[in-house]
Amino acid sequence: MLIRKMLLRALPVLLLFVFALSIGSPTPSSAATIQLTYSNFFPPSHIQSKLAAAWCKEVEKRTNGKVTITYYPGQTLTKAKNCYDGVVSGLSDLGMSVLGYTRGRFPVMEAVDLPVGYTSGAMTNKVVNAVYNKFKPKEFDDTKVMYFTACGPGLLFTKSKPVKKLEDIKGMKIRGHGTIANMIKSLGATPVAMPMPELYQALQKGVVEGAFYPMEVNKGWKMAEQVKYGTLAYSCAFTSSFFVVMNKKKWASLPADVQKTIEEINKEWIKKHTDAWVSSDEEGKKFLLSKGGKLFKLDPAEATRWKDASKPVIAAYIAKMKKKGINGKEIVDYIFSILK
């Protein structure tokens, strides 16, 4: 009887203690940290990799630690060409890579990489995001798009032989992927497809004699240690488009406030990537020249020859899209309207 009375007296105190604990401690669901993974092929030292890492930190900061992201640069989680599929399957929650590494996978966005004559990284980044926002291609329906970015104008760099006119490039083995492989053929060279991380050794071993890439690669990927000459063929300059995407199910599982925060950061990061492409192109140019490299401008007549030689690539794209039921001409015309 005494024990029963003591228990009855203690019960209110015990209930108050349990109640205090319940309101003073977060529920398991609210306390749980959302952990994400981000795969990128850029090496840690590259400015585009640093921006991706900074994006991760910004998400963590603005969600007050609700989201944490483990960043894997330098193909340590998925290879460049497997990055998109890695996001779709959940090998990584987020990924950044080149659209052209999976040729034919993104037909609408493929138009952005055509040799339309880009002159700056600011122009390429404006075009790539504008094309996606206007056409909303279904080719990305299996992921959640964060944003796109695009490198500066793709130009020709060679190891041992300067290229000053079309005749000089005939028969050369030149690295180029995606749509640009077709342009290399139209110029009279032999395209060799490979991701950027493999190019340095390919040049070193003589697997290729040169490559088309933006000026920034000379420093960002140390390619100026292998090439000696640059041909400034802006009249047929292209770009390489990059995606940043998230696993669709993972995105859907995020709280609404986290989704809103991430989308706000995405808009800011488009400009950061754009500014980085522009500034790193200038740094790449300086680095090449500091290594003794030489740059050649095409005179107006020669520039027109290169442009005319590249036109069939654009025409072939439009014809290929027509067979797929896609209005490729509309996409190309839209790109040229932005360039003007």
Provide the edge-to-edge strand list for the sheet that holds 210-214. Answer: 190-192, 173-175, 210-214, 154-158, 229-232, 294-297
pTM: 0.86
Assign residue 216 the CATH number of its domain: 3.40.190.170
Residue at 77 is within a domain: yes
Neighbours of 51 (CB within 10 A): 18
Closest alpha carbon to 139 in 114, 104, 111, 115: 104
How many angstroms separate the Cα of 333 from the Cα of each of 135, 298, 340? Answer: 13, 26, 11
Print burial letters for 1-10: b (CB count within 10 Å at least 16), e (below 16).
eeeeeeeeee
Q: Is residue 8 part of a domain?
A: no
**pLDDT tens per residue, the chain (340 residues)?**
444 544 445 444 444 444 444 444 443 344 589 999 999 999 999 999 999 999 999 999 999 999 999 999 999 999 999 999 999 999 999 999 999 998 889 999 999 999 999 999 999 999 999 999 999 999 999 999 999 999 999 999 999 999 999 999 999 999 998 788 999 999 999 999 999 999 999 999 999 999 999 999 999 999 999 999 999 999 999 999 999 999 999 999 999 999 999 999 999 999 999 999 999 999 999 999 999 999 999 999 999 999 999 999 999 999 999 999 999 999 999 999 999 8
Going across the sheet that includes 34-40, the strands are 67-72, 34-40, 94-98, 241-247, 143-150
Domain that holds residue 264: 32-339
User: For residue 309, how far is the Cα from the chain centroid?
Assistant: 28
Asked if residue 46 belongs to a domain, the reply is: yes
Flag whether 15 is in a domain: no
Q: Which residue has the tokens 């987020």?
A: 94
Q: In the chain, how many domains are there?
A: 1
* CA dist., res. 294 & res. 129, Å (int): 33
In Å, what is the CA distance from 323 to each residue of 314, 316, 319?
15, 11, 7
Residue 14 lies in a domain: no
| Helix or strand (DSSP H, E) at 145 | strand 143-150
Amino acid at site 290: S
**How many whole angstroms separate alpha carbon 186 and alpha carbon 170?**
10
For residues 162 and 294, the answer to whether their CB atoms sit within 8 Å is yes
Per the domain annotation, does 290 fall within a domain?
Answer: yes
